[in-house]
Amino acid sequence: MTPEAIGLTISLGLLAFALAFLAVRGAGQYRTTRSRPQLAWSSGLALASAAMAVETVVYAGFVTDVLLQAYIFLSAAIVGVLSLGAARVFRRPRLEQGYSWYTLVACAAVGVASFAVPVPAGMVQQGIIVGNPSLLLLVLSSMVTGPATIVLLASAVVGLRRARRWQTLLLIAGALVLGAGGTFYIASFPVLLYYAEFIGIVLLFFGIVSLPRVPVGVPVARVDAA
């Protein structure tokens, strides 16, 4: 491998580790809060970490049909699972429950089809996993990514109107960028997926990880004894 290829492989591996760190951090917060949206965020990040790990090993030259089939499923499931974490902002329990069941069933259908349909020829070019899925996978994946993207966009608007919490907006924005990357991959624009993954990780990092605040000292008036 050339030095450039080695550097890119290391970069992909570091991004996969960063996503895994965020997923573990989110899982820790879920154990504390028992919040279903937090569980959805951490699960979506775990799927994104797995997808990035597949990209890393494939770029390094280890390619199998199972890895490529798993990658097709992960690319669609990421945005669907992340959108489950944003559905709570609508404050409609029935809508949230119905959408959750729809997304889980649609993701399961994509998973079954991903491993049942043969991998298209030429799916890996120069170490990069390109798009070009079958029509069946394209339709099934769109049933996940389409509604999920709408939910993420709508939740961002509603969340901004109700409470201007920058951490919540960063979470939604990061999930939306990651989801858009998966959508671009399904639509055969794989290069945009790498940019979306990097930007999405940065947004999610600042949305999930609470940065310490620097205390500002308040001067106290000194009273001298007479």
Least confident span in 76-80, 99-103, 126-130, 138-142? 126-130
For the packed helices 36-59 and 3-33, what is the interaxial angle rounded to 10 degrees? 160
| In the predicted structure, residue 223 carries a pLDDT above the cut 50 | no
| In the predicted structure, residue 214 carries a pLDDT above the cut 50 | no
- For the chain, the domains span 3-206
> Which H or E run includes 17?
helix 3-33
CATH number of this structure's domain 3-206: 1.20.1070
CB 38 within 8 A of CB 29: yes
- Per-residue model confidence (pLDDT) at position 180: 65
Give this prediction's pTM. 0.75
Greatest Cα pair distance in the chain:
91
CB 21 within 8 A of CB 46: no
Tokens found for residue 199: 């930007």
